[in-house]
Amino acid sequence: MAPRRVAWPKAWRVIASRYPPIELFERLTDDPVVWEALIALEQMTNPRARDEVGEIALVAAEDRVSGPGASFVMASFTHLNPKGSRFSDGTFGVYYAAGERETAIAETVFHFETFAKDSADPPRTEDMRVLVGAIDADFEDVETLPELDRHQVLDPIRYAAGQALARRLRADGALGVVYPSVRRAGGRCLGAFKPLSVGLPQQERHLSYRWNGERVDRYFDYRQETWVSYPV
pLDDT of residue 50: 52
DSSP characters for the chain? -EEEEEEEEEEEEEEETTS---HHHHH--S-GGGHHHHHHHHHHH-TTHHHHH--GGGS-GGG---STTHHHHHHHHHS--TT-BTTB-SSS--EEEESSHHHHHHHHHHHHHHHHHHTTPPSEEEEEEEEEEEEEEEEEEGGGS-HHHHHHHT-SS--HHHHHHHHHHHHTT--EEEEE-SSSTT-EEEEESSGGGSPPPEEEEEEEEEE-SSSEEEEEETTTTEEEES--
Q: What is the total count of domains within the chain?
A: 1
Residue-wise pLDDT for 57-94, tens only, equals 788 888 888 888 888 998 899 889 899 999 999 999 99
pLDDT digits (tens, 9 = 90+) for 8-67: 999 999 999 987 665 555 555 566 555 555 555 455 455 554 545 567 778 888 888 888
The model's confidence at residue 176, banded by pLDDT at 50, 70 and 90, is very high
Percent of the chain past pLDDT 70, that is, above it, reads 84
- Domain range for 179: 2-229
